[in-house]
Amino acid sequence: MGRKIVGMISSYRGLNQADWLWQQTPNPCGVWDNIQMLSQAPEPDFLLMYQYSFPKSSAQLPWWQRLRQKKTSKPDVASQLRGVPKERIIYLLREPPLEKVVQNHKANYEAAKNYCGYISGPDDFAPTPDYMPAIWYHANSFRELNEMIPPEKIHACSWITSGIDRTPEHRRRLAFLKSLRESGSEFDLYGRRLPDWAQAKGTLKNKWHGMAPYYYNLAIENYAGNDWYVSEKLWDALLAWCLPIYYGGSAADKLLPPGSFLRLPSLDEQGIAYIKEVTSTPDAWYEAKDAIAQARQIILHKLNLLNWLSDFVAKFD
């Protein structure tokens, strides 16, 4: 039947590179089995709408935005679909259903029904609730990640996060960070827009450098309120051969082998005591090494977004 081309559009800023996802396959130019990922292809066989925000109607906008909209042309969604038929257009929403954005998510799902044959997201009100296929943010090649032995571990624990405080969930995470820092826990912190009291080491161009040398990584989700949401925080830590100390929903338990990550019980004094106990020795990492190896293969080969797209396309053969 021949290899099918998958294009992509997204509302994420800056996500318009021609080689999007190419680092997630061992093959050149975005090839994975029966598909080739060419995000900017002018006439793809399939189209992925990845965290795409549909234009709001005038009735949904505040009055000052309605005035502004009259001065600009309304975006034409159909013109962005590159002639791909509805049944071959995939809508994947990947952001968590925080209370602040739930109505926007629901509006996007409704709008997607006009254009897309498959619509999914990590929440119960999605047309097809499902886990997010895995993407990761290491610069390493797929072959390197697939074949590597554990890198040398020389530090106990790291945390890569940000100082964003837009939602109650963000502010709760920052409050836990402050309590953890004040407790004297030993960990290296990296990230952007962090306050001075956080004692961060700065931003990272490559997350690998803030994970690979560490036995443990704090992987704390912005949202832990359902059975679907799990993000790259977990994939990135495991691919760097860290043992994640994970705070999130139950999705991870269904996707990864037992023992491949540790559950942070809570974002309070009990959680701080747990982190201190675990990170005081590398023993837990050594006990989990085989499970981490299994989890890495699951992420690379099964949960991989490219593999998910390949399976979706195969249904049309």
pLDDT in tens, the chain (317 residues): 689 999 999 999 989 999 999 999 999 999 999 999 999 999 999 999 999 999 986 555 554 555 555 555 556 899 999 999 999 999 999 999 999 999 999 999 999 999 999 999 999 999 999 999 999 999 999 999 999 999 999 999 999 999 999 899 999 999 999 999 999 999 999 999 999 999 999 999 999 999 999 999 999 999 999 999 999 999 999 999 999 999 999 999 999 999 999 999 999 999 999 999 999 999 999 999 999 999 999 999 999 999 999 999 999 98
Residues 175-215: tens digit of each pLDDT: 999 999 999 999 999 999 999 999 999 999 999 999 999 99
Identify whether 135 is part of a domain.
Answer: no
Whether 113 and 223 map to the same domain: the answer is: no
* C-alpha–C-alpha distance, residues 111 and 124, integer Å: 17
Calculate ∠ Cα 93-236-305, nearest 5°: 40
What is the structure's pLDDT at 75? 60
* C-alpha–C-alpha distance, residues 7 and 192, integer Å: 31
What is the structure's pLDDT at 56? 82
pTM: 0.93
Identify whether 85 is part of a domain.
Answer: yes
Whether 25 and 152 map to the same domain: the answer is: no
Identify whether 164 is part of a domain.
Answer: yes
Q: Which domain holds residue 20?
A: 4-130
Q: How far is CA 93 from the centre of its chain?
A: 11
Residues 62-82: tens digit of each pLDDT: 545 555 555 555 568 999 999
Residue 217 β-bridge partners: 158, 244
Identify whether 316 is part of a domain.
Answer: no
Alpha helices in 52-184 (DSSP H): 63-71, 102-112, 142-147, 168-182
Residue 263 β-bridge partners: 246
For 210, how many CA atoms within 13 A lie in the half-sphere containing its CB? 24
Whether 151 and 205 map to the same domain: the answer is: yes
Q: What's the CATH number where 150 sits?
A: 3.40.50.11660
**Count of domains forming the chain:** 2
